[in-house]
Amino acid sequence: MKRILLATLISFNAFALDPIVTDSTTKSTVHSTGDVTTTVKSPPPSAISPTFSAGSNSDSCTVGIAGAVQTQILGISAGTTTRDLNCERLKNAKTLYDMGMKVAAVSVLCQDVRVFDAMLMAGTPCPYNGIIGSDARLAWQNDKDNTPKKEEKDDESIKPLELLTGIGSTVLGLLLLL
């Protein structure tokens, strides 16, 4: 019985190895008509303003101002930096103080009218030509021309309003040309 079963298994394996082959050929032609519409979607053009940064570890007393305007045809961007005079004053005073020149450091701070007035109100007037204390108070009262003025102007720096006015005028002029 074992021999018949073994012979049967061997014969089934022999038939399983024969591949099945079919031959067929099909010819077809497809005709189609129709309208094709292609829509291309792209992002709008953009004007990117330049980055002005004082940096994360910078010892510079500048402030960056930047802006951009974009129309469908034309884009404009501009930027500049301006000096922060109060920052410069504070850094100068700190440097003088660190060098041991305390009276000079206070004198630098006293160039700001707010500090000058606060020192007078506190009863410790700002130094006057090396004179300190009540003698300095009398010297400042006699020399009103050299006291700090209410408005400090710096001709080298551009004010943000002037910058924006200039940029706006340029953009408006270019838009009128379109």
The strand pairing partners of 78, in sequence order, are 67
The burial class, CB within 10 Å (0-12 / 13-18 / 19+), for 127 is buried
Asked if residue 98 has pLDDT above 90, the reply is yes
Whether 88 contacts 61, CB under 8 Å: yes
What was the pLDDT predicted at 6?
46
Which residues on adjacent β-strands are paired with residue 66? Answer: 79
DSSP letter at 131 equals: B
Structure tokens belonging to residue 153: 């102007």
At residue 97 the predicted structure's pLDDT band, cuts being 50, 70 and 90, is very high
- Residue 4 pLDDT level (bands cut at 50, 70, 90): low
Share of the chain above pLDDT 70, in %: 69
Is the pLDDT score of 24 beyond 70?
yes
Average pLDDT along the chain: 76
Q: How far apart are CA 166 and CA 178, in angstroms?
A: 19
Q: Of all residues in the chain, what percent carry a pLDDT higher than 90?
A: 19
Q: Report pLDDT digits (tens) over 67-77.
A: 777 777 777 77
Contact present, 127 and 143 (Cβ < 8 Å): no
Between 90 and 153, the higher pLDDT residue: 90
In sequence order, which ranges of the chain are alpha helices (DSSP H)? 2-16, 85-98, 102-109, 113-121, 134-142, 160-177
If you ran DSSP here, which 8-state letter would residue 62 be given? E
